[in-house]
Amino acid sequence: MTKVALVLGATGQDGAYLVRHLLRSGYVVHGTTRDAETSPRTNLRTLGVAEKVTLHSVAPNDFRSVMQTFAAVAPDEIYNLAGQSSVGLSFQQPTETLESIATATLNMLEAMRLTAQDARFYNACSSECFGELNGVAADENTAFRPLSPYATAKAAAYWLVENYRRAYGLYACSGILFNHESPLRPERFVTRKIVAAAVRIARGSGERLTLGDLSIRRDWGWAPDYVDAMHRMLQQPKPEDFVIATGEAHSLEAFVAAVFAALDLNWEHYVTTDPGLLRRAEIAHNVGNASRAAERMNWRAGAAMAEVVRRMVAAELDPTLVTA
């Protein structure tokens, strides 16, 4: 029988790539957005899958809305990628962040318990939950010490998944994903902000790029690789949580330098820093250890920072490459 998948948050970066991945894997795919009638579906259209997915209007923090959709779709697999996705914005909107992530996840788990107990549930967790790692690579046994409302909400959702798995025997798991990028990122994310500005500068815009702390170090991967890991998690014989990462940490300065070098430019001539862009509580260094994913799922990151930069710059220069 053909499997049915439901992707909550189908119009974002990860949602669009996951929809494409599932369609290529032979699934019937349903997706959700807050308003299916007015949603621009830009990412889905860019990937050529907008007409191949059935979109539903769902407010994840409204239990009735979630329950009705689960009952109507009767999914075999549920992927929770919905919720407020900006760490910086979470300091300005902590209540909305908590509701859209933690409360929404609780609604999904409870709706699954009541209407779809045989389904399998994937929850998008985040490396932000670990907080400051001081250069030590985090794995599935590393303690959570969240430093933002976003990370706190993601940690709460993680423990809700763990609770429903143990208390009700649901197939529910979390992917603890480190940073993963693509040309589908909006420019409010720093990686896309850097790439888009650098390309404009190379084309003669005359602007300067303003950034915050260039010393922070992150584990950057390629988003299509990471949605493949999400799918693999729900194919395992038993539900387990997995860290998904490249295992390499690079400074933001190194990322900036690589982007400008790809355009034959010296970044120091075009970049300034602004203390006003610093977050209230910033993680200086994070990196992940995805050895469990390699051992259990045969998953490994296909691209680390240098290749991610190359692909993002190429797609910014030639939009036809975005679908790669």
> Among 77, 128, 181, 316, which one carries the catalytic annotation?
128
Q: Are 41 and 10 in contact (CB under 8 A)?
A: no
User: Catalytic: 150?
Assistant: yes
Q: Which residues pair with 8 in a beta bridge?
A: 32, 80
Partners of residue 123 on adjacent β-strands: 80, 174
Q: How far apart are CA 110 and CA 164, in angstroms?
A: 8
Which residue has 């690579």 as its token pair?
137
∠ CA 197-199-204, rounded to 5°: 95
CA distance 313 to 176: 27
Is residue 128 part of the annotated active site? The answer reads: yes
Q: In this structure, are strands 250-251 and 217-218 parallel, antiparallel, or unpaired?
A: antiparallel
> Residue 288 in contact with residue 244, Cβ under 8 Å?
yes
Find the catalytic residue in 85, 90, 126, 174. 126
173 with 239: CB under 8 angstroms? yes
Can 140 be counted among the known catalytic residues?
A: no
Query: Given 150, 158, 226, 270, which residue is catalytic?
Result: 150
- Residues serving a catalytic function are 126, 128, 150
